[in-house]
């Protein structure tokens, strides 16, 4: 293979939902040399075609399974990578319960292989996709970065907790290595163009894509999981954060890696507001001027009653403030669904 001596940011999982939106944000914020690596486990190569329409150029990309050590090391041998934004992982909670070892292997091997490659090639900038799932059912809300980890409810959640712990430990042993874990709350919505959104493969479990599918007639009804919680209307509370805001936070965090007081830090990425499931349903209906067919059903096992983020640390330290609201989430999600009628 021809060695390309470029200095670039490696975006792992760059064909996926948040990775591809982050490639747009990187481009908009002046980071030109980006290499996406993905094995299309949960995405399709046509992501790159849609990205090209938005950023006006073809993103450099490599198809590679990061959980394969040799392939990962080879990637770093062939490209002059200077930093990593690591999205690549499997993310379905129910699937992780059915196939725990698949999740342990894919999510943890990929991370460990990347850290090893970083160490070998003196790559010292690293951003990790973590999740609010690490907090479980929190005792206090809004939940701050100081809140403790709860016992992991799923193999997926465990891979995020272990991932953070491995990176923090790696940082204590490698003082020149700077890393940030970003704990996303509920990323939702799509790029405003309606061209880059969440690709649903298999059984979707996330609320907003399910609403969009129902509106498109791809599912008969939406079941709201429980209306007897101790919340404003009895349905669960979550912190829905627009994917473009999440994407922009990555660029700010990447920029911050050189300026940190210590070499490891963690930030919540949430809107700072809680919305109930029924509020999201009504917002989707009102903003898009349509009616959804929904009914109240039983609680879903393992659901957290209410959680939303304190995002003051990200605002103070990274200068990040969400620019979009729930209305933007539900309108962009519906636009994406309409542009993608074959995505069932
Ligand atoms: P996604 O599935 O759309 O994107 C992940 C990408 O990684 C996919 O394109 C997939 O093909 C790729 N991938 C998976 N394993 C790989 C491997 N071994 N080698 C190479 N590529 C691989 O998911 P997303 O929603 O964009 O999530 C990105 C990250 O954010 C994940 O780590 C996820 O756990 C985390 N996260 C997501 C959410 C959410 O609600 N979307 C919330 C919290 C955290
Ligand atoms: C949101 C709300 C449901 C579908 C997931 C992952 C977690 C993290 C964040 C990645 C809940 C309700 C949903 C439906 C419904 N992701 N709902 N009917 O549960 O916050 O967590 O995203 O790290 O690990 O588990 O997100 O979108 O599944 O649900 O009533 O058909 O919508 O009960 O209250 P959740 P979600």
Tell me the best of 11, 24, 89, 103 to mutate to test the pocket of ligand 1, counting ligand atoms within 8 Å of each CB and taking the most. 89
Percentage of the chain beyond pLDDT 90 is: 92
Contact status, residue 33 vs residue 254, Cβ threshold 8 Å: no
Selected catalytic residue, list 48, 135, 156, 264: 156
Tokens at 227, concatenated = 């209306």
| 5 counts as catalytic | no
Residue 4 above 60 pLDDT? no
pLDDT tens digits for 166-192? 999 999 999 999 999 999 999 999 999
276 lines ligand 2 (CB under 6 A): no
What secondary structure does DSSP assign to 260-285, as a single string? -SSSEEEEEES-S--EEHHHHHHHHH
Residue predicted with more confidence, 7 or 330: 330
Smallest Cα–Cα separation from 135: which of 115, 106, 107, 164? 164
Residue of minimum CA distance from atom 2 in ligand 1: 42
Predicted confidence band of residue 341 (pLDDT cuts 50, 70, 90): very low
Ligand showing the shortest atom-to-Cα distance for residue 269: 1
210 lines ligand 2 (CB under 6 A): yes
Q: Any idea what the Cα angle at residue 139 is, between residues 137 and 143, rounded to 5°?
A: 80
232 lines ligand 2 (CB under 6 A): no
Residue 344 above 60 pLDDT? no
pLDDT tens digits for 267-306? 999 999 999 999 999 999 999 999 999 999 999 998 999 9
Give the helix/strand (H/E) hosting 155.
helix 155-173
Predicted confidence band of residue 203 (pLDDT cuts 50, 70, 90): low
């Amino acid at each position: 293979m021809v060695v390309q001596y470029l200095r670039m940011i490696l975006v792992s999982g760059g064909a996926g939902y948040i990775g591809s939106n982050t490639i747009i944000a990187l481009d908009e914020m002046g980071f030109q040399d980006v290499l996406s690596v993905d094995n299309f486990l949960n995405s399709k190569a046509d992501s790159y075609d849609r990205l090209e329409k938005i950023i006006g150029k073809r993103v450099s990309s490599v198809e590679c399974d990061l959980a394969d050590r040799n392939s990962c090391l080879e990637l770093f041998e062939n490209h002059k990578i200077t930093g990593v934004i690591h999205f690549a992982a499997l993310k379905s909670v129910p699937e992780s319960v059915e196939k725990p070892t698949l999740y342990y292997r894919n999510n943890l091997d990929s991370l460990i292989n990347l850290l090893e490659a970083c160490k070998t090639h003196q790559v010292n900038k690293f951003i990790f996709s973590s999740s609010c799932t690490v907090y479980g059912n929190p005792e206090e809300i809004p939940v701050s970065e100081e809140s403790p980890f709860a016992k992991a409810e799923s193999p997926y959640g465990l891979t995020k907790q272990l991932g953070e712990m491995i990176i923090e430990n790696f940082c204590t042993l490698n003082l020149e290595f700077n890393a940030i874990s970003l704990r996303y709350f509920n990323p939702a919505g799509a790029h405003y163009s309606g061209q880059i959104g969440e690709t649903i493969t298999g059984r979707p479990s996330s609320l907003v894509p399910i609403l969009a599918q129902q509106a498109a007639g791809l599912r008969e009804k939406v079941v709201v999981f429980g209306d007897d919680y101790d919340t404003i209307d009895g349905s669960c509370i979550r912190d829905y954060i627009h994917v473009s805001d999440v994407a922009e936070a990555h660029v700010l965090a990447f920029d911050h890696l050189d300026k940190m007081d210590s070499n490891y830090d963690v930030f919540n990425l949430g809107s700072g507001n809680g919305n109930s499931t029924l509020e999201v349903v009504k917002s989707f209906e009102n903003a898009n001027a349509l009616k959804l067919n929904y009914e109240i059903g039983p609680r879903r096992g393992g659901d957290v009653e209410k959680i939303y983020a304190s995002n003051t640390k990200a605002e103070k330290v990274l200068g990040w403030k969400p620019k979009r609201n729930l209305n933007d989430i539900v309108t962009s999600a519906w636009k994406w669904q309409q542009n993608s009628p074959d995505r069932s």
